[in-house]
Amino acid sequence: MDLHEEPVPYDPSDPERYGPDYVPGHADPGAAVTPPPAPEPPRVRAPHGRRLTAVLAVGALVAAGVTAGGLLAGGSAGGGGHGTLPVATVHASTVELSPSQAAAAVAPALVDVDTVVDYGQARAAGTGIVLNPDGLVLTNNHVVEGSTHITVRDIGNGQDYPAAVVGYDRSHDIAVLQLSGASGLATASLDPNPVTVGEPVVGVGNAGGRGGPPSTAAGAVTAVHRTAFVRSDSGAAAEHLADLIQTNADIQPGDSGGALVDRYGQVVGVDTAASSTNGTSSAAPVGLAIPIGDALGIAQQISTGSASPTVHLGQTAFLGVELAQGIFSLGAPAAGVPVAGVVPGTTAAALGLRSGDVITKVDGRPVSSAAGIGAIIGTAHVGDQVHVDWITPAGTPQQGSAALQPGPIG
């Protein structure tokens, strides 16, 4: 599938954006591109083996507005710091490494991230980069989005750790995890300086979600300052990401959150998205990575407990209703949002909501869609009281208040 991009004027004199072998044409990295009707490329998050079908099923539910994260999740209260982040080193070694040597240099500072998604409906996997010896880990938000349990295996020592999300930034697809009980972990060497077109790089991560020694994919930087619309495996709406590094390294599902490494063995980017041909095209691979300097700036904000309109700290507030796509009365859409089901143990269950009810107001504001509910819950925090008005299938008005409970991440 092709990446959907914003039109960018073609300037052949720009060596930072176009390499020496660049030929203008329909594949111009900087030319105006009309988005084709095909869906956006999926982010590279992978289920384990046979769990692919289950993950696709969960994706269909989320797309329909059922249960989870983005639709019914809220913000989170500020928190304290989580240790110091590494001081970025610039070419600590002047010896250029082969792709395998560069990958080996960073591998001990990577982790495999395994998640239970939506209360056990599926499992998925990705990668993370260790930022400090006490287990602060950088990854993509979409790697942990929708998860209700996270386990991390450190490649450097082979140990497994339960992990909690310190915070996340949906709009920039960055999340920070804290491993419980970790100490003395190997940490990554980072280079926040801009990369250049033609610079050799290696993608290192948990390709296919198989675990074990990290996989490697050698290539080169093919463009910088890329803008793309990408979607996660959940099938949720596409998101806009900017200022990305593009590479022809064959980034695979499961590599998300992994390292894009330069020829000195330093991390220059966070592997985030890739095109997918499913074996039906001979086109060169297209991988996208968030520059490590950008990712580290967000991680610093999260680790110091600095919430913002885009940075959410701690647990995600969750209403816990499964929402139907719509209801009709005499051929016209009915007011409110129909409830298809309720997740046990959540705020919705405490309120007494049941399948067949229709939510009409949240915190006194009329709602007519899942997005409308999400917009209200999205500003709330775990523990906040939420007031809900609804109508039962018998037509009886009901209302109640309850504290928002923690739910799936993001």
DSSP 42: B
234 CB-side CA count, 13 A: 28
Q: Which of 215, 232, 234, 256 is flagged as catalytic?
A: 256
User: CA 116 to CA 216: how far, in whole Å?
Assistant: 25
Q: Which of 48, 82, 142, 381 is flagged as catalytic?
A: 142
Side chain identity, residue 395: G
User: CA 407 to CA 322: how far, in whole Å?
Assistant: 13
Q: Is 91 a catalytic residue?
A: no
Backbone angles phi, psi at 168, to 5 degrees: -155, 160
The dihedral built from the CA positions of residue 137, 143, 145 and 148, taken in this order, carries a sign that is: negative
Evaluate whether 245 touches 291 at the Cβ level (below 8 Å).
yes
User: CA 37 to CA 16: how far, in whole Å?
Assistant: 30
User: CA 295 to CA 80: how far, in whole Å?
Assistant: 20
User: CA 69 to CA 59: how far, in whole Å?
Assistant: 12
| Beta strand pairing call for 122-132 and 385-391 | unpaired
Evaluate whether 199 touches 262 at the Cβ level (below 8 Å).
yes
Evaluate whether 128 touches 111 at the Cβ level (below 8 Å).
yes
Tokens standing for residue 247: 């590479």
Q: Is 173 a catalytic residue?
A: yes
Q: Which of 114, 173, 250, 271 is flagged as catalytic?
A: 173
User: CA 17 to CA 233: how far, in whole Å?
Assistant: 29
- Which active-site residues does the annotation give? 142, 173, 256
